A = this chain, B = another copy of it.
Amino acid sequence: MKYSFRNDYSTICHKKVLEKLIECQDEQNIGYGEDIHTINAKRLIQEKIKNKSDVYFLVGGTQTNMTVISHILKPYEAVIACESGHINVHETGAIEGKGHKVLTAYSKDGKLTKELILNILNNHTDYHMVKPKMIYISNTTEIGSFYTLAELKSIYKCAKENDLYLFLDGARLASALAASDIDYPDYAKYTDVFYIGGTKNGSYLGEAVVFNDLNLSKEFQFSIKHSGAMMAKGFVASIPFEVLMEGNLYKEIGENENKCAIYLKEELKKLGYEFYSDSNTNQIFVNVNKKCAEYIEKEYSFEKWSDIDDDFLVIRLVTSFTTTIDICKDFISYMKAYKN
């Protein structure tokens, strides 16, 4: 059986999440997120972030992005993102489907900066153009980089100075928490709304949207239902967060992912491999030639990210809550056996 480094959403869920399902299997709960598990998961998140933010549980990342953005923006308002941002590239136009333009800036490392944001603002000054009103960033980013606390603060300051909302996509927040100096309470302090990803961090589904600006969450349940994002069995989305937010499990998942990914990176470096981007999170991007890719494919799954030239390509290796150092050691052994 091939081990898959293809992504961090190949396995149903963390064992502790499944145990919780088994434990709750005979309960009868109220629908639509008004149940005690949802209330409890919300409380646990508020404790983690040390703030009485408003919390809702949605199913997936694209759904969360489109529901949050369309809830907050007026029809002619736009959201600023990196060119490589998930909402710009990999959501099949879901944000535009809700009527909003995504204004983009190119950045090699997948991160926005104050300068990039101001440049967009300077180019959008009248009613013939959309009105930029929100900044969208991801932590970790789509290419494995992460924001530092100083960077986050700088963007948040820029947002407040320019009357913009700051929305942070935490699809891979576990890995970000483990890699960066931004801790839970900072996300409450330095964003207006963010989400804590479940799907890619040990849950079978679910993203916890956290509104730090309570004006923004007003009537959000209408938008959830209007966007087709309301689960009848709301507790199915919140139960995993009861588990992940208990103790330190969520961050530990990120720590394990990062540890494994960094191990892979360091060992591959020793073997002479180069990297498409410098990542210390759970996605690493390795330059390999095509013969090598074929060799790896025999025993491991991974994603082909992009072609470099006729001979070389970038492959993405992703670690998850199922990855162990032993699995990584096996992989490195396998790579050592490869003769170019």
Binding site for B on A (CB under 8 A): 3-4, 6-7, 9-13, 15, 18, 21-22, 24-32, 59-67, 70-71, 74-76, 78, 89-94, 96-102, 127-131, 199-200, 204-205, 219, 221-233, 235-236, 239, 301, 322
Contact = CB atoms under 8 A, between A and B. Distances in A.
Nearest to A223: B76
Contacts of A222: 74, 76, 92, 127, 130-131
A7 B128 CA distance: 15
Given A7-B31, A32-B128, A228-B229, 8 more contacts: A3-B28, A7-B232, A11-B26, A21-B21, A61-B232, A78-B93, A93-B100, A96-B101
A100 B6 CA distance: 30
A12 B233 contact: yes
Nearest to A231: B60
Nearest to A239: B12
A18 B25 CA distance: 8
Contact of A226 (B24, B76, B227): B76
A119 to B, nearest CB: 13
A269 to B, nearest CB: 26
B59 A31 contact: no
Contact of A94 (B15, B66, B226, B236): B226
Given A74-B219, A75-B71, A94 B28 contact: no
Q: Which of A65, A66, A204 has the most CB of B within 10 A?
A: A204
A13 B100 CA distance: 35
Interface residues of chain A: helix, strand, loop or mixed (majority): loop
A269 B11 CA distance: 50
B96 A221 contact: no
Contact of A230 (B62, B129, B225, B233): B62
Nearest to A204: B236
A93 B97 contact: no
Given A96-B100, A99-B93, A76 B225 contact: yes
A232 B199 contact: yes
Contact of A231 (B59, B97, B233): B59
14 contacts: A6-B30, A12-B235, A13-B25, A59-B59, A63-B228, A67-B228, A74-B219, A75-B98, A76-B92, A76-B226, A96-B101, A97-B99, A130-B226, A199-B233
A322 B239 CA distance: 20
A25 B9 contact: no
Nearest to A199: B232
Contacts of A232: 7, 9, 60-61, 199-200
A75 B223 contact: yes
Given A92-B76, A199-B233, A227 B11 contact: no
B205 A231 contact: yes
A200 B102 CA distance: 29
A221 B127 contact: yes
Contacts of A128: 32, 90-92, 225
Contacts of A64: 228
A200 to B, nearest CB: 7
A5 B98 CA distance: 37
A4 B32 CA distance: 15
